[in-house]
Amino acid sequence: MTAASHHAPVAASSGLKQPYHLVDPSPWPIVGALGAGSLLTGIVFAAHWHSYLLLIVGVALVLTTMFLWWRDVLRESATPGLHSAVTRLGLRYGMTLFITSEVMFFVGFFWAFFHFAIFPEHVLGIANPTWPPPGIHTFDAFKIPFLNKMILLLSGVTVTWAHHALLENDRKTLVKALTITVLLGLSFTSFQAYEYSEAPFRFYGGGIYPSVFFLATGFHGFHVIVGTTFLIVCLLRARAGGFTPERHFGFEAAAWYWHFVDVVWLFLFCFIYVWGAGPPPVE
C-alpha cells in the first residue's frame, strides 16, 4: 500500500456551474418555528387562563424573525450573482404554491360553514332546524361588510396602479399608489375591529355560528394585516429606490398576496354575510 492510500478520498469537482442559490446557514427558520409555537400556545393560555407572557414572547419572536429574515433576503437579492434567473423562477413557484396552500386553508373554513348552513340538523339536533341557529342575529351585510368590500376592491386597483407605475419607472406614482393601498388596508382592519366590537354574539362560548364566523373572517383579517405589512415593506423599499422595472419580484409577491385576500373577502361577503344571513332582528 502506498502512503496515499491511507488518506480519505477527496471528492473531485465536476467543474459544472449550477444556477441555484444555496443559502448560507440561518438561525431564522428555527427561531421562527419557536416563535410560531409560542404564539399558538400563548393564544391558548391567554384564552383559557388569561396568561399573556407566552403570547407576548411569541409575537416578539415572530416579528423579530420577519424583520431579520427579510433583511437577509434583501441583502441576498442585492448581491450580484446570487439571485439568478432560475432562482427568481423558483421564488415565483414558491409564492404560487404558498398562495395555493392559503386557498386550501380557507376552503376548510368555507367547508365548515356550508356543512352547518346546509345541514344544520347535524349540529342543532332539533326538528325543523334553521341557519343561523335560533337566537343568532347576523350582521347587516350592506353596512360595514359592504364598505370593507369596496375598500378592498379599491385597494386592488391602487396596487395594480402601483405595479404599472413601477414598470414605467415612475417612482413618484409608485410611492403614491402604494401609500394609498397601505392606508386602505389599515382602514379595512379598523372597520373590521369596530364591527367585532359591535358583534351581537361572542366568539367564546357562543356556539357553532360565532365560532365559524370569527374563524373565517378573523383569519382573513389576520391575512389583511400580514398583507398590509408586506406592502409597508414594499413602500419603504420603493422610497429607497429598491425596485427596478426589471427586478421587483418582492413587490409582485406582495401584490399577488393582496389580490388573494381581496378575492377571499368577496367570497366571505357573498356567502357568509349575504347568503348565510338570518332574518333581521325584530325591533
| Percent of residues, the chain, with pLDDT higher than 90 | 61
DSSP states of 65-106:
HHHHHHHHHHHHHHSTTTS-HHHHHHHHHHHHHHHHHHHHHH
Q: Is the pLDDT at 277 greater than 50, yes or no?
A: yes
Q: What is the mean pLDDT of residues 191-218?
A: 86
pLDDT of residue 127: 59
Kind plus residue range of the DSSP H or E element containing 205: none
Higher pLDDT, 231 or 279: 231
User: What is the domain partition of the chain in residue ranges?
Assistant: 24-82, 85-275
Q: Is the pLDDT at 126 greater than 90, yes or no?
A: no
Higher pLDDT, 283 or 59: 59
| Phi (first) and psi of residue 207, to 5 degrees | 105, -175
Q: State which fold the 85-275 domain adopts.
A: Four Helix Bundle (Hemerythrin (Met), subunit A) (1.20.120)
Q: Is the pLDDT at 216 greater than 90, yes or no?
A: yes
Mean per-residue pLDDT of the chain: 87
Q: What is the mean pLDDT of residues 50-77?
A: 91
Those residues whose C-beta lies under 8 Å from the C-beta of residue 26, and which sit 6 or more positions away, are 69, 72
CB atoms within 10 A of CB 38: 21
Contact call for residues 122 and 115 (beta carbons, < 8 A): yes
Axis crossing angle, helix 208-239 with helix 144-167, rounded to the nearest 10: 30
User: Which of 116-130, 136-150, 197-211, 266-280 comes out lowest in average pLDDT?
Assistant: 116-130
Domains 24-82 and 85-275 are alike in CATH topology: no
Residue 70 pLDDT class (50, 70, 90 cuts): confident
The answer as to CATH 1.10.287.70 being correct for domain 24-82 is: yes
Q: Tell me the C-alpha distance between 47 and 17, whole Å.
A: 54
pLDDT of residue 4: 47
Radius of gyration of the chain (CA): 24
Q: What is the mean pLDDT of residues 5-12?
A: 46
Q: Tell me the C-alpha distance between 72 and 28, whole Å.
A: 10
pLDDT of residue 281: 53
